[in-house]
Amino acid sequence: MSERSLSPHDLRILRDLLDLTRPGHREAPAERTFQLLAHLESLVGCDAASLQEMDCVQQVRLYCQASTGGQRWSETPEERAVTRRDPGVALFWRCWWRSTCSLPERVGRPVVVSDRSVLSRHEMRSDPLYVEYLHYVDEILVGYPTGRGRSARLILRRDEGSAFGPRELMLMELLLPHLRGLVLSTLPPVQPLTARLTGRQVEILRQVALGQTNREVGRVLGISEATVRKHLEHSYDRLGVLSRTGAVAALTVTHQAAVARA
């Protein structure tokens, strides 16, 4: 049998996958996506499958639900906040633009790619991103751009054994246009960044955007410098950034998007 051949078992799974994507399905998108992930685990022989949405401007994962050996998991906001503080995540974002993770943003269209279709085993073993953080044999990314700096992606991870081959990549290429509707309907609506902040936090960031120091902001708003600093720290957590520069940039992007929509 050719390495690209499909067995009757493969065809049954493909039929079930396509049924999950049909319009008017009675089950909610998130439930269908969990079923989709479990089917993909079986179809391509991976150890974990997940749906994620990434924002490379804010350097944050906006959404994640996963299936690992049939066990379901959804990331909570609290778990997301803890993950952002992981040193490995900082390394991940530093390497973002040279990794396969950024391919949907770089090409601006849906893509299917595996790490080992781009990198050799030696290259992965010598790359700090894979040595220190991404401990797997291979990963398939099925990506869909969703907006400025954002993309949805199905991630299929294989922790041991051989890399994904032509069969698995062919299957995901075939499914690429069919899965898009379900993937995008599963993602929650994007919340405006300013909706994550209190009114006082927005006021402070607007003053910071004018180039004022914490002391100067405190004088303008009639609060202490320590209170300004504390509000800024909370703003960084809510926006998923690490500095006042990142927070101001996030606020600016939100304003520009609002003007564009108007």
Q: How many CB atoms lie within 10 A of CB 57?
A: 16
Rounded average pLDDT over 68-86: 87
- Asked if pLDDT for residue 262 goes beyond 80, the answer is no
User: Alpha-carbon distance 210 to 132, whole Å?
Assistant: 39
For 218-245, write each residue's pLDDT tens digit.
Answer: 999 999 999 999 999 988 888 777 788 8
User: If phi over 0 gives left and psi between -120 and 50 gives alpha, with beta otherwise, what is residue 234?
Assistant: alpha
- Average pLDDT over the chain reads 89
Exposed, middle or buried: residue 166 (CB in 10 Å: 0-12, 13-18, 19+)?
Answer: exposed
Which tokens belong to 53?
């949405």
- Asked if pLDDT for residue 257 goes beyond 90, the answer is no
User: Alpha-carbon distance 246 to 166, whole Å?
Assistant: 41
Considering only 47-61, 164-178, 188-202, which range has the smallest mean pLDDT?
188-202
Task: State the CATH class of domain 193-261.
Answer: mainly alpha
Q: Is 123:89 a contact under the CB 8 Å cutoff?
A: no
Helix axes 8-20, 166-186, angle to 10 degrees: 20
Percent of the chain with pLDDT over 90: 67
CATH number (2.40.50.200, 3.30.450.40, 3.20.20.70, 3.30.70.640) of 8-186 reads 3.30.450.40
User: If phi over 0 gives left and psi between -120 and 50 gives alpha, with beta otherwise, what is residue 70?
Assistant: left
For 3-16, write each residue's pLDDT tens digit.
Answer: 667 889 999 999 99
Considering only 142-151, 234-243, 248-257, which range has the smallest mean pLDDT?
248-257
Domain 8-186 identical in fold to domain 193-261:
no
Considering only 52-56, 188-192, 208-212, 218-222, which range has the smallest mean pLDDT?
188-192
Residue-level pLDDT at 189: 80
Q: How many residues does the chain have?
A: 262
Domain ranges of the chain: 8-186, 193-261
